[in-house]
Amino acid sequence: MGHGHGHGTAASASGRMAGRLWAAFGIAAAIMVLEFVVGFATSSLALVSDAAHMLTDVVGVGLALAAIMAARRAKAKSHRTFGLYRAEVLAALANAVLLFGVAGYVVYEAVDRFDNPPAVPGWPVLLAALAGLAANVVSFLLLRDGAKDSLNVRGAYLEVLADLIGSVGVLISALVTILFGWRYADPIVGVAIGLWVLPRTWGLARRALHILFQHAPERVDVEELTKRLCAVPGVAEVHDVHVWTLTSGMEVASAHLTITADADQAVVLRAAQELLTADYGLEHATLQVESPNARCQELSW
Successive 10-residue mean pLDDT values, the chain, 301 residues: 46 62 88 90 82 75 73 59 72 80 78 77 88 88 75 72 80 90 85 76 85 90 95 94 85 93 93 95 91 67 59
Domain annotation covers residue 297: no
If asked whether residues 228 and 193 sit together in one domain, one would say: no
Last residue of a domain, one of 212, 234, 261: 212
pLDDT at 293: 76
Domain annotation covers residue 111: yes
Q: Give the β-pairing of 284-290 and 235-247.
A: unpaired
Whole domain around residue 98: which residue ranges? 14-212
If asked whether residues 223 and 277 sit together in one domain, one would say: yes
If asked whether residues 49 and 95 sit together in one domain, one would say: yes
Nearest to 257 by CA among 272, 275, 276: 272
> How many angstroms separate the most distant Cα atoms in the chain?
86
pLDDT at 218: 87
pLDDT at 185: 87
Distance between CA atoms of residues 296 and 287, nearest Å = 14
Domain annotation covers residue 256: yes
Q: Give me Rg for the CA atoms of the chain.
A: 25
How many domains does the chain fold into? 2
Last residue of a domain, one of 212, 228, 263: 212
If asked whether residues 42 and 189 sit together in one domain, one would say: yes
Domain annotation covers residue 135: yes
pLDDT at 8: 41
The CATH number given to whatever domain includes residue 223 is 3.30.70.1350
The CATH number given to whatever domain includes residue 41 is 1.20.1510.10
If asked whether residues 165 and 179 sit together in one domain, one would say: yes
pLDDT at 9: 37
Last residue of a domain, one of 212, 241, 270: 212
Distance between CA atoms of residues 275 and 145, nearest Å = 29
If asked whether residues 128 and 241 sit together in one domain, one would say: no
pLDDT at 104: 79
If asked whether residues 72 and 172 sit together in one domain, one would say: yes
Domain annotation covers residue 112: yes
If asked whether residues 206 and 225 sit together in one domain, one would say: no
If asked whether residues 201 and 250 sit together in one domain, one would say: no
If asked whether residues 178 and 247 sit together in one domain, one would say: no
Domain annotation covers residue 199: yes
